[in-house]
Amino acid sequence: MPTQLNQRHNANAIRILAMDAVQKANSGHPGAPMGMADIAEVLWREFLNHNPKNAKWANRDRFVLSNGHGSMLLYALLHLTGYDLSIDDIKNFRQLHSKTAGHPEHGYADGIETTTGPLGQGIANAVGFALAEKTLAAQFNRENHEIINHYTYAFLGDGCLMEGVSHEACSLAGTLGLGKLIAYYDDNGISIDGEVEGWFSDDTAKRFEAYGWQVLSVDGHDAEAIYKATQAAKAETDKPSLLICKTIIGLGSPNKQGKEDCHGAPLGADEIALTRAELGWADDTPFAIPQEIYQAWDATEKGAALEALWNEQFAKYQAAYPELAAELQRRLAGDLPSNFEQIADDFIKLCNQKGENIATRKASQNTIAAFAPHLPEILGGSADLAGSNLTLWSGAKGVQQHADGNYVHYGVREFGMTAIANGVALHGGFIPYTATFLMFMEYARNAVRMSALMKQRVINVYTHDSIGLGEDGPTHQPVEQIASLRNTPNHFTWRPCDTTETAVAWKMALTTAHAPTSLILSRQNLPFQARTDEQLANIEKGAYVLAHEKGELKAIIIATGSEVDLAMQAHSQLEGVRVVSMPCAEKFMEQDDAYRESVLPAGVRARVAVEAGITDYWYKFVGLDGKIVGMNSFGESAPAKDLFAHFGITADAVVAAVKSLI
């Protein structure tokens, strides 16, 4: 049990580092770190199981700072407990190429589990961590061998609770009974604009009780109370826990604590001097931390012992269950089974032989059914559209009904679903896929961006990809969404034209370990396109010549998805024209110059792109002199066939565009 005096003195080290770093950078948020320092001290020194010398230890507890603007809190904790984050790194806060960025960035420094810039997504990521822990434990633990057994702790603030994604994620966490998820709410009553009671008057306790959480209220500056509340949270195994911690933002600052003044701006040199005196901090040298405080915080010896104990437990597990142990190690490493590529290639060849005329959403379901039995790490899910997205397969087991399942019914929670999937991917041991209509990618958009930013293998299945979905009308018909996804850095967008390209797209998504992939799939049936072995091999390159020109090459038609068939129809009516299927423009742009030139010769300026989406994206491939057959407006409600004719996305339109250029 911590003593109040020691706790406060140790916590003050966080306050000193936070206000000094923000002052030196002349930028940042000192208030939250200073207000939450007491909670952090109890959690990190009394409860958190981690090893600063091995930040990737598999059974470590996960810590998420969802209110990521208070990043100096996390940086101070990592520095004080012994991670590879020096005092010079702290001094370099918010500077170019620093480990200590303005918001915690995954991959910049050891110990940062997830990037938490946009508020609310951190707590959603934490739900993903807890979901992954519970599911992985159910899949691998055996009697007397609890090899996966850790907690997920999250800090969050008023902003996280105001963001709708926190409702989506926390509601599902209660339904799933994620008992090893413990969140600490920094209830300080202040946001950037001032006192939140004018715009945030929710009864947070009742809200979370309604979700099915255990809710505890505590003085966020009382070490003993925080300790006991955390013990109570850990004792509740069937419900996630929310600790509502009443705190004072900027605690210790005589003139600014409890006010918005300290939320997002430096305290100022004079106020820092007054704060040091108020805290009883003897040394007025910036960034100076007494050695005895470093010793009190140092977690390296304890962390090494915790990991060593786990390694002993794992050795016993390995002896008792060698195959399970090897499988767990493979999955935690993020490696696919050694025979997966051969399995995928065999299925791709089978698709090419069968030549089915089916919707690519159905082709996707067939591919999942072929691949998933060989990939137990797949953890799929849909936002209440499984029967439309076709993401369920014969071996799917819902985690709601089976703790060791492989499928999540996310409900109508597109944003929460995607942010949770990011947490699942970050945890390790799983490859998550999500699903919804392409139009509703817009709800999930920022979480898609975050998976790209964090280089996570998350697969997004987006069906009903164009006006081809028909009668549901313009609210459901995507126009600009594919271009938006293609313009996202470190993200791959595959829009296959048939069963074969769909299978290849899934293979590429699964084998792309450091980026997310979105699969753009049709509602309507699409005709199969015959290919040679060479063409089949080139699909993986993102674009390839599907139909060669008759005679001298005069023009090129570039198409994706359902519009590839329109290009092929046009090809049959034209001389000197080739058709290029481009299921993934981003992958094509990664190819070497020679291959790209072989597909799209620079000397052939007569180019037409055809896609039932916004036209502007395609100028990068056809040039300003080329023609684009596509959408320049929103859709309408009508049968698909009528819509393609109405908007001029037809084979005749493609033929006319080509002839106008030759």
Catalytic residues: 414
Instruction: Give the number of other Cβ atoms within 10 Å of residue 334's Cβ.
Output: 15
Is 189 a known ligand-binding residue?
no
Is 142 a known ligand-binding residue?
no
| Strand (E) or helix (H) holding 114 | none
Overall residue count recorded for the chain in this entry: 662
Is 388 a known ligand-binding residue?
yes
Is 263 a known ligand-binding residue?
yes
Residue in the structure block whose two tokens are 């904790």 = 77
Is 69 a known ligand-binding residue?
yes
Cα–Cα–Cα angle for 282, 284, 286, rounded to 5 degrees: 130
Is 104 a known ligand-binding residue?
no
Is 145 a known ligand-binding residue?
no
Give the phi and the psi of residue 608 in degrees, each rounded to 5.
-130, 130
Distance of CA 134 to the CA centre of its chain: 19
Q: Which residues contact 319 (CB under 8 A, 6 or more apart)?
A: none
Is 514 a known ligand-binding residue?
no
Is 374 a known ligand-binding residue?
no
Is 203 a known ligand-binding residue?
no
**AA identity, residue 1:** M
Q: Check residue 542 and give left, alpha or beta (phi > 0: left; psi -120 to 50: alpha).
A: left
Q: Check residue 553 and give left, alpha or beta (phi > 0: left; psi -120 to 50: alpha).
A: beta
Residue in the structure block whose two tokens are 């923000």 = 22
- Please report, for residues 405, 490, 510, 581, the alpha-carbon distance to residue 334 in angstroms, rounded to integers and kept in the order given: 19, 18, 11, 31
Is 440 a known ligand-binding residue?
yes
How far is the C-alpha of 26 from the C-alpha of 268, rounded, in Å?
A: 9
Is 361 a known ligand-binding residue?
yes
Distance of CA 195 to the CA centre of its chain: 32
Distance of CA 280 to the CA centre of its chain: 43
Give the phi and the psi of residue 184 in degrees, each rounded to 5.
-115, 115
Is 470 a known ligand-binding residue?
no
Q: Which residues contact 315 (CB under 8 A, 6 or more apart)?
A: none
How far is the C-alpha of 541 from the C-alpha of 591, rounded, in Å?
A: 7
Is 248 a known ligand-binding residue?
no
Angle at which helix 269-279 crosses helix 4-25, to 10 degrees, equals 170
Bridge partners of 352, per DSSP, are none
| 112 CB burial (10 A radius; 0-12, 13-18, 19+) | buried
Q: What is the DSSP secondary-structure string of 44-98? A: IIII----TT-TT-TTPPEEEESSGGGHHHHHHHHHHHT-S--HHHHHTTT-TT-
Is 446 a known ligand-binding residue?
no
Angle at which helix 360-371 crosses helix 499-511, to 10 degrees, equals 50
Is 158 a known ligand-binding residue?
yes
Is 29 a known ligand-binding residue?
yes
Annotated binding site for Mg(2+): 158, 188, 190
Annotated binding site for thiamine diphosphate: 69, 117-119, 159, 188, 263, 440
Annotated binding site for substrate: 29, 263, 361, 388, 464, 472, 476, 523
Annotated binding site: 29, 69, 117-119, 158-159, 188, 190, 263, 361, 388, 440, 464, 472, 476, 523
